[in-house]
């Protein structure tokens, strides 16, 4: 009986060791995940106005906008009520893995009179033949006067994964739009008063192909 128990324990220990080795062998090597290149353009992101960094655990990347400001009201022009930025992110990562965007955290400052509404959105898709898209967004209704931090999650069934067996950059289209039902009232979306920037903090998740 004792011999049988010892044999069983040995088998269990061996099985656990094999599982641990397998997991370690399939773990994502964080040193291989880094931003190769970023290009951007649009009314909300003149050259030199966008910064980016990856978190240490490679679970988020942050885009920092220094000139992303939209406004409406007396003394403004119609085109000032909409600002956009098209961004191309070339993320390096190991073969055999893929990633998807599952959440965006919008951070900035907004002032809206009662008749003004603001919408901030981020559209994600990978370059290549199959350009499935996913959008995260948040909407504000005046009156509002505050710094904001808003999380917008992607539904599990809507996740878009980077392709396996090919390396395609991630495209991100960001947009801020203000609308008003009263031309005498004003609205503004701009850098927050904490660190002077609009931020998009994008949550990404990884899986094996």
Give first-to-last CA distance, the chain, whole Å. Answer: 45
The CA–CA distances, whole Å, from 151 to 87, 104, 125, 169 equal 20, 6, 19, 24
H/E/C letters for each residue in 163-203? CCCCCCCEEEEEEEEEEECCCCCCEEEECCCCCCCEEEEEE
* pLDDT per residue as tens digits for the range 22-68: 333 457 888 899 999 999 999 999 999 999 999 999 999 999 999 99
pLDDT tens series, the chain, 209 aa: 434 433 333 433 333 333 333 333 457 888 899 999 999 999 999 999 999 999 999 999 999 999 999 999 999 999 999 999 999 999 999 999 999 999 999 999 999 999 999 999 999 999 887 778 999 999 999 999 999 999 999 988 889 999 998 889 999 999 999 999 999 999 999 987 667 788 999 999 999 99
- What pTM was estimated for this model as a whole? 0.80
What is the Cα–Cα distance from 145 to 10, expressed in whole angstroms? 65
Going from the N-terminus, what domains does the chain have, and what CATH number goes with each?
A: 30-208 (2.60.120)
């Amino acid at each position: 009986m004792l011999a049988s128990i010892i044999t069983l324990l040995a088998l269990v220990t061996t099985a656990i060791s094999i599982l641990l080795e397998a997991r370690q062998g399939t773990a994502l090597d964080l040193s291989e995940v880094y931003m190769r290149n970023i290009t951007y353009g649009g009314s909300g992101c003149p050259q030199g106005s966008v910064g980016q960094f990856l978190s240490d655990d490679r679970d988020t990347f942050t885009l920092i906008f220094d000139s992303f400001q939209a406004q409406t009201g007396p003394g403004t022009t119609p085109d000032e009520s909409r600002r956009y930025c098209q961004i191309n992110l070339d993320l390096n990562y190991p073969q055999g893995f893929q990633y998807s965007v599952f959440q965006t955290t919008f951070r900035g400052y907004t002032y809206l009179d009662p008749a003004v509404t603001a919408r901030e959105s981020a559209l994600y898709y990978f370059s290549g033949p199959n350009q499935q898209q996913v959008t995260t967004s948040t909407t504000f209704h005046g009156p509002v006067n505050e710094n904001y931090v808003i999380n917008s999650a992607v539904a599990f069934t809507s996740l878009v994964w980077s392709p396996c067996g090919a390396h395609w950059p991630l495209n991100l289209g960001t947009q801020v739009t203000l609308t008003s039902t009263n031309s005498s009232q004003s609205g503004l979306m701009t850098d927050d008063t904490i660190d002077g920037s609009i931020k998009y903090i994008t949550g990404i998740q990884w899986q094996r192909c």
